């Protein structure tokens, strides 16, 4: 069995970190077997080296080694790529095609980014792992294959299983042995060593003197988070090698080539909270609008009573509960003011010749009610009116207006833009 140091030299692996050495040691130990291996670690840590070690140290080393990036193949064609297809099985299938599992029979397949596989493909892969059988797309014939599978992922598999994006049974089939590659920030002693190796390689490639780091630059190098890991480090070394005229690099110069806020890699953002907030805010708005409609109907009823009787005192006695509901039960001053308002609204008695019939009044009331109903049914208009009033009341202060409306400040800002306020 080859030593860890010999394996590093053979496969171009640089570093002396204990976790890295342990990962290589596990790869050497499992290589002679046929068990499945799952390589885990962040993007850019060099997970692709482990499957190569396993294949080259196994009895399959003379067979084919095929690396497949599962995340780069479209969902509609990945089954055809992996398992092959029959002629005419789908549009564009002008001839029968062998898939990777058929081509690599007797060898090794490295499934990179296995966490990106569609669920339907995961079912097919599980069957291959369980009994070595697969069926081509568009065929009914079961075929056998003798392939060793090594998979890799930077996805949190337990989180993916919890969200039903990855099958739990497939995970346990793939991860008979799990090998984790540590991120670069946990291998601080290897960072400068790797940088010097990259700087030397680029000096030879571009035929120029090798760049060197000052002590303060080395400190910057070691304290950077390196979210992009070895890939990010290599990229920084190449940029500096090509662009800098001065071949001695200090800390300030090195900092100018490093992202100031960590990684620029894309991140997945959960939207469940914002969707929940939107739903809650919409329900609150509907409730406010329906409460307003109810109050308007109560006011119309009270107005109708005044129009019929013309006597505010009688209306007060007969509709005391309704008045308290509209103007509030606890504020006596407000209640008294409302009675004065009723006196003003009351229609004085006229002679029989001048008094409108109750039917005429009722017709006018229904006509007014129909117009009012049409106006209050527009949620858009009411929402706009509420926002305008709240902003005016709080002198344009969005935070206070949002609190009064029962929505988030972000949602209010979006509404202001939507209505061009």
Q: What is the mean pLDDT of residues 259-271?
A: 50
**Dihedral (CA of 268, 271, 274, 278) sign:** positive
Kindly state whether residue 387 falls inside one of the protein's structural domains.
Answer: no
Q: 418 or 57: whose pLDDT is higher?
A: 57
Q: What is the mean pLDDT of residues 157-170?
A: 95
The pLDDT value recorded for residue 272 is 44
In which residue are the tokens 């190098």 written? 221
State whether 349 and 311 are in the same domain.
Answer: yes
State whether 34 and 130 are in the same domain.
Answer: yes
Buried b (16+ CB within 10 A) or exposed e, 120-151: ebbebbbebbeeeebbbbeeeeebebebbbbb
Which residues, 6+ apart, have CB-to-CB distance to 236 below 8 Å? 195, 254, 257, 258
Q: 244 or 378: whose pLDDT is higher?
A: 244
In which residue are the tokens 């509420």 written? 386
Kindly state whether residue 383 falls inside one of the protein's structural domains.
Answer: no
Residue 353 has pLDDT above 50, yes or no: no
Least confidently predicted of 64-68, 83-87, 268-272, 407-411:
268-272
The pLDDT value recorded for residue 320 is 66
The model's pLDDT over 282-297, given as tens digits with 9 standing for 90+, comes to 667 666 777 777 777 7
CATH assignment at residue 203: 1.10.8.60
Q: What is the mean pLDDT of residues 244-259?
A: 93
Interhelix angle 332-345/320-327, rounded to 10 degrees, is 120
Q: Are strands 142-144 and 212-213 parallel, antiparallel or unpaired?
A: unpaired
The pLDDT value recorded for residue 103 is 95
The tally of CA atoms less than 13 A away on the side-chain side of residue 36 is 23
Kindly state whether residue 163 falls inside one of the protein's structural domains.
Answer: yes
Q: Can you spell out the DSSP letters for 285-354?
A: HHHHHHHHHHHHHHHHHHHHHHHHH--HHHHHHHTHHHHHHHH-SS-HHHHHHHHHHHHHHPPPP--TTT
State whether 100 and 133 are in the same domain.
Answer: yes
Range of the domain at 86: 4-182
Q: What is the mean pLDDT of residues 271-291?
A: 59
Kindly state whether residue 196 falls inside one of the protein's structural domains.
Answer: yes
The model's pLDDT over 71-120, given as tens digits with 9 standing for 90+, comes to 999 988 999 999 999 998 888 888 999 999 999 999 999 999 999 999 99
Structure confidence at residue 329 as a pLDDT band (50, 70, 90):
very low
Residue 356 has pLDDT above 50, yes or no: no
Distance between CA atoms of residues 356 and 358, nearest Å:
6
The pLDDT value recorded for residue 159 is 94
| Boundary-marking domain end, from 154, 182, 210 | 182
The pLDDT value recorded for residue 351 is 44
State whether 66 and 149 are in the same domain.
Answer: yes
Identify the top-confidence range among 159-168, 253-262, 412-421: 159-168
State whether 114 and 224 are in the same domain.
Answer: no
Q: Structurally, how many domains does the chain consist of? A: 3
Separation in Å, CA 371 to CA 102, 200, 361, 367, 376: 74, 83, 15, 6, 9
Q: How are the residues of the chain apportioned to helix, strand and coil, as percentages rounded to the nearest 5?
A: 55, 10, 35
State whether 157 and 189 are in the same domain.
Answer: no
For 387, the token pair is 């926002």
| Boundary-marking domain end, from 157, 182, 207 | 182
For 220, the token pair is 């910057």
| Boundary-marking domain end, from 148, 182, 216 | 182
Residue 37 has pLDDT above 80, yes or no: yes
The SS3 assignment for 281 reads: helix
Structure confidence at residue 251 as a pLDDT band (50, 70, 90):
very high
Give the CA diameter of the chain: 119
The pLDDT value recorded for residue 250 is 95
State whether 311 and 223 are in the same domain.
Answer: no
Residues listed for the chain: 421
Q: What is the mean pLDDT of residues 175-181?
A: 95
Distance between CA atoms of residues 405 and 32, nearest Å:
68
Kindly state whether residue 265 falls inside one of the protein's structural domains.
Answer: no
State whether 159 and 15 are in the same domain.
Answer: yes
Distance between CA atoms of residues 291 and 383, nearest Å:
13
Structure confidence at residue 299 as a pLDDT band (50, 70, 90):
confident
Structure confidence at residue 270 as a pLDDT band (50, 70, 90):
very low
State whether 139 and 27 are in the same domain.
Answer: yes
Q: What is the mean pLDDT of residues 124-151?
A: 94
The SS3 assignment for 179 reads: strand
Distance between CA atoms of residues 415 and 421, nearest Å:
9
| Chain mean position to CA 209 | 45
State whether 13 and 152 are in the same domain.
Answer: yes
Kindly state whether residue 414 falls inside one of the protein's structural domains.
Answer: no
The pLDDT value recorded for residue 420 is 75
State whether 293 and 316 are in the same domain.
Answer: yes
Q: What is the mean pLDDT of residues 146-175?
A: 95
Residue 323 has pLDDT above 70, yes or no: no
The model's pLDDT over 359-408, given as tens digits with 9 standing for 90+, comes to 554 555 454 455 444 444 566 777 778 888 888 888 888 888 888 877 88
The model's pLDDT over 217-237, given as tens digits with 9 standing for 90+, comes to 999 999 999 999 999 999 999
Kindly state whether residue 416 falls inside one of the protein's structural domains.
Answer: no
CATH assignment at residue 49: 3.40.50.300
The pLDDT value recorded for residue 84 is 94
Residue 279 has pLDDT above 90, yes or no: no
The pLDDT value recorded for residue 307 is 67
The pLDDT value recorded for residue 308 is 67
Share of the chain above pLDDT 90, in %: 58
Separation in Å, CA 108 to CA 33, 102, 125, 160, 173: 12, 11, 14, 26, 16
State whether 35 and 117 are in the same domain.
Answer: yes
Structure confidence at residue 314 as a pLDDT band (50, 70, 90):
low
For 108, the token pair is 């090794």
Residue 345 has pLDDT above 90, yes or no: no
Kindly state whether residue 228 falls inside one of the protein's structural domains.
Answer: yes
């Amino acid at each position: 069995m080859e030593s860890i140091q010999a394996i590093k030299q053979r496969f171009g692996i640089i570093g002396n970190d204990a976790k890295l050495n342990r990962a290589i040691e596990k790869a050497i130990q499992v290589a002679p077997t046929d068990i499945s291996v799952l390589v885990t670690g962040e993007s850019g840590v060099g997970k692709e080296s482990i499957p190569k070690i396993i294949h080259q140290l196994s009895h399959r080393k003379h067979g084919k080694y095929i690396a497949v990036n599962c995340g780069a193949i479209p969902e509609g064609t990945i089954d055809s790529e992996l398992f092959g297809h029959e002629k005419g099985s789908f549009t564009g299938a002008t001839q029968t095609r062998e898939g990777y599992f058929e081509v690599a029979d007797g060898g090794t397949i490295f499934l990179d980014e296995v966490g990106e596989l569609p669920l339907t493909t995961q079912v097919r892969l599980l069957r291959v792992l369980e009994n070595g059988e697969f069926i081509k797309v568009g065929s009914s014939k079961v075929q056998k294959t003798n392939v060793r599978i090594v998979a890799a992922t930077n996805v949190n598999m337990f989180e993916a299983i919890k969200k039903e994006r990855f099958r739990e049974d497939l995970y346990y089939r793939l991860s008979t042995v799990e090998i984790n590659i540590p991120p670069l920030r946990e291998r601080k002693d290897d960072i400068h060593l790797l940088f010097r190796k990259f700087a030397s390689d680029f000096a030879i490639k571009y035929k120029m003197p090798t760049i060197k780091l000052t002590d303060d630059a080395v400190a910057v190098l070691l304290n950077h988070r390196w979210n992009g890991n070895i890939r990010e480090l290599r990229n920084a070394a190449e940029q500096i090698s090509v662009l800098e005229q001065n071949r001695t690099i200090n800390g300030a110069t090195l900092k100018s080539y490093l992202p100031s806020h960590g990684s620029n890699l894309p991140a997945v953002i959960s939207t469940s909270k914002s969707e929940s907030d939107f739903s809650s805010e919409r329900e609150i708005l509907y409730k406010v609008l329906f409460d307003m409609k109810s109050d308007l109907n109560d006011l119309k009823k009270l107005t109708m009573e005044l129009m019929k009787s013309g006597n505010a005192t009688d209306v007060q006695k007969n509709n005391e509960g309704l008045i308290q509901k509209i103007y509030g039960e606890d504020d006596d001053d407000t209640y008294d003011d409302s009675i004065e308002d009723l006196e003003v609204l009351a229609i004085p008695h006229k002679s029989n010749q001048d008094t409108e019939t109750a039917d005429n009044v009722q017709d006018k009331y229904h006509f007014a009610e129909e117009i009012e109903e049409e106006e209050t049914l527009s949620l858009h208009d009411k929402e706009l009116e509420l926002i305008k009033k709240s902003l005016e009341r709080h002198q344009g202060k969005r935070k206070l207006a949002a609190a009064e409306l029962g929505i988030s400040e972000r949602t209010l800002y979006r509404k202001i833009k939507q209505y061009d306020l």
